[in-house]
Amino acid sequence: MIATGPDAVRERTPPPASDLVVEAAHLRKTYGPTPALEDVSLSLGRGAGLTLLGSNGTGKTTLLRILGTLLRPTSGSLRIAGRDALKEPSAVRGAIDMVGHGTWIYEDLTAIENLRFWSAMGGHDATRPRLLGALESVELDTVAERRARTFSAGMKRRLALARVLLGRGRLLLLDEPFTGLDRAGRKWLGEFLMSFKARGGALVVATHSFDAGLGVADRVAILAGGRIALDRPTAALGHDELRRLYDDLALGSGSAS
């Protein structure tokens, strides 16, 4: 469930409490007098995928950073995997994986060295067979000993996602993950994200790539001016209707009726 304000379209039945991965209420973030996010509430259960659509500057990245405990909201509450993420941010970070605009890859390290470093930082098993298994899952096992600086944008994105396979995260947050990928890369990423959901993970994707974003979502929320102007299941509306609403709400200044 995502909702904000009386004009938002609300999901009336949230997931059962035992299935909730994210519970956020009335999140607000301001920078001085400037609001970046206004009164956003969100519930997300296991195996669910939410795509946040919006043009640049609408609050998508701010919301992702708050959900990832990288940014504290000005007001509101947030629970991740049943724990208070504002009071105990370090306690919930093990449940969260985030891939942002950058891939957090060390260019001078090889693919397997990057995974070994991430495993050590996260306290995960760093045996070579496990690291190679993660690389095989993202189709990079044959280039395990190559330095990351030689990789294409798509390969770097795959390497960043291999990190997700090393942990036990229940929540995966992605900021513009389709940027810089060719058609094959977008297809592979979509399949990876659907597999993550099938294993019970919760997924939030922030993007302005309309078609790619819809392909991995059960729900779509459109952000405009730091508020969620629309929140609906993707199955409730056809592609053309969603496209019209996106053009009106994200690129214009309307509100859903």
Q: What is the pLDDT of residues 87-130, one digit of tens each?
A: 999 999 888 988 876 667 899 999 999 999 988 887 777 899 99
Separation CA 153–CA 131 (nearest Å): 21
C-alpha 11: how far from chain center: 20
100: closest CA among 71, 126, 61, 141?
A: 61
188 neighbors 199 (Cβ within 8 angstroms): no
Do the domain assignments include residue 255? Answer: no
Reading the block at residue 213, the tokens are 């974003």
Do the domain assignments include residue 174? Answer: yes
Do the domain assignments include residue 26? Answer: yes
CB contact set of 234 (below 8 Å; sequence gap of 6+):
51, 214, 217, 218, 219, 220, 242
CB contact set of 93 (below 8 Å; sequence gap of 6+):
69
Separation CA 127–CA 130 (nearest Å): 5
Do the domain assignments include residue 24? Answer: yes
Do the domain assignments include residue 210? Answer: yes
Number of domains in the chain: 1
C-alpha 223: how far from chain center: 15
Question: Residue 187 is part of which domain span?
Answer: 2-249
Do the domain assignments include residue 39? Answer: yes
CB contact set of 55 (below 8 Å; sequence gap of 6+):
208, 250, 251
Please indicate whether residue 233 or residue 75 has the higher confidence score (pLDDT): 75
Average pLDDT over residues 62-83: 95
243-249: long-range contacts at Cβ-Cβ below 8 A with a sequence spacing of 24 or more?
243/210, 246/53, 246/210, 246/222, 249/222, 249/224
Q: What is the pLDDT of residue 131?
A: 94
- Given a cut of 70, whether residue 255 has pLDDT beyond it is no
pLDDT category at 18 given cuts 50, 70, 90 is low
Neighbours of 33 (CB within 10 A): 5
* Tens digits of residue pLDDT in 121-171: 877 778 999 999 999 989 999 999 999 999 998 899 889 888 888 877 789
pLDDT category at 11 given cuts 50, 70, 90 is very low
Residue 120's domain is classified under what CATH number? 3.40.50.300
Do the domain assignments include residue 257? Answer: no
Write the DSSP symbol of residue 38.
E
| Mean pLDDT estimate for the chain | 85
Do the domain assignments include residue 9? Answer: yes
